[in-house]
Amino acid sequence: MGAAEAFAELVRIMERLRGPNGCPWDREQSHDSIKPYLIEEAYEVAEAIESSDFDELRQELGDLLLQIVFHAQMANEAGRFNIADVVNAINEKMVRRHPHVFAEVAVRDSGEVLRNWAKIKSEERKDSSDRSALAGVPRALPSLLRAHRLGEKAAHVGFDWNNASEVWEKVREEIAELEIALKDEDRTAIEAELGDVLFALSSLARHLDLRSEDALQRASDRFLQRFRYIEERLAAQHRDVHGASPAELNELWEEAKRML
C-alpha cells in the first residue's frame, strides 16, 4: 500500500473508531483528555531516535501520527477543520518558507536559509497578536530546550554572542552573581541567578553545537547507571545504601566513575 492509500486508511480507521458503532473509549475522548498521549508519544519518538532503534522509531512515528489524526477527527466532528486542512496548511507553509527551492531566491549556505526562514515567519506573524521574533516557543517545553530555542531564535535576528568564548565569560559572570546571592541568603535572588546560570549554559551548549537538554539527559543516565552500580556492590554484601556511610558511598561512587 502506498503512502497516500495508507494515510487514507488511517483516517478511515479513526473515523470508524469515533463513529456511532465505534470504540466507547475513543468516542469519549476530547482534545484535552488525549493531550498527554500526544506529548508522551513525541517523547517516545525522541527516545527511539536517541537509541538509534529504527524499528522502534517506525512504530513510534505511527503512534504519534495517530494522535494527530485523532485530534483532526475531533476537530472535523466539531466543524472546525479536518485532516486535509492540516496537511494543506503545512504543505503551503513549507513551500512558502523554502523560496530557495520552490521559487527563484538564491542562498549561499544553511545560515542564510535560517535567516530567510526567520524573516518569512516574521512576515507571517504581521497580523498576529504576538509579533515577537521569539513567538512560537511553547512554555510547556522542557526548560533547557525552551532556553535553547529562545536563544536560537534571537540569534537568527543577530542578537547573540560571537563565539563560545564570549558565552563562557557570560557563564562566569552569572556564576559570580549567584555566589553573591548565596552569600546574601536571598532566596528570590538565588533562584533568579541560578536560572541565569542555566540559561547561559544553554547558550554555551548552543555555541558548541550541542543541546543542553541532551547533555543533561545523558548526565542523568550516567548518574543513574553509577548509582545502581553502588547499589549492586552493596547488595553483593547483603547491604543497601541506607546502611552505608557517606564516605563509603563516595568511595563506591568514585569506583563507579572509573568503571562506567
Residue 213 CA: distances (Å) to CA of 17, 38, 203, 217, 223: 37, 20, 11, 6, 15
11, 63: one domain: yes
Query: pLDDT band at 81, cuts 50/70/90?
Result: very high
- Answer yes or no: are the C-beta atoms of 72 and 83 closer than 8 Å: yes
Digit-coded pLDDT (tens) for 179-210: 999 999 999 999 999 999 999 999 999 999 99
| Number of separate helices (H) and strands (E) present in the chain | 12, 0
Residue 173: what pLDDT?
97
Higher pLDDT, 123 or 147: 147
Are 187 and 149 in a shared domain?
yes
d(CA 73, CA 248): 58
In whole angstroms, what is the distance from residue 183 CA to residue 155 CA? 34
- Distance between CA atoms of residues 249 and 251, nearest Å: 5
For residue 142, what is the DSSP state? -
Q: Do both 76 and 18 map to the same domain? A: yes
Mean pLDDT throughout 3-16? 96
Q: For residues 115 and 185, state if they share a domain.
A: no
How is residue 63 written as a grid cell? 503512534
Q: Under a CB-based contact definition with an 8 Å cutoff, are residues 18 and 28 in contact?
A: no
**Are 12 and 83 in a shared domain?**
yes
Question: Across residues 74-83, what is the average pLDDT?
Answer: 97
Task: Let me know whether 45 and 113 are in one domain.
Answer: no
Q: Do the beta carbons of residue 67 and residue 38 sit within 8 Å?
A: yes
How many folded domains does the chain comprise? 4
pLDDT of 258 reads: 93
Same-domain pairing of 23 and 72: yes
The CATH number of residue 9's host domain is 1.10.287.1080
Parent domain of 188: 132-210
- Segment 112-131 mean pLDDT: 77
**Confidence at residue 8, expressed as pLDDT on a 0 to 100 scale:** 96
Co-location of 206 and 248 in the same domain: no
Tell me: do 36 and 49 sit in the same domain: yes
Which pTM value belongs to this model?
0.69
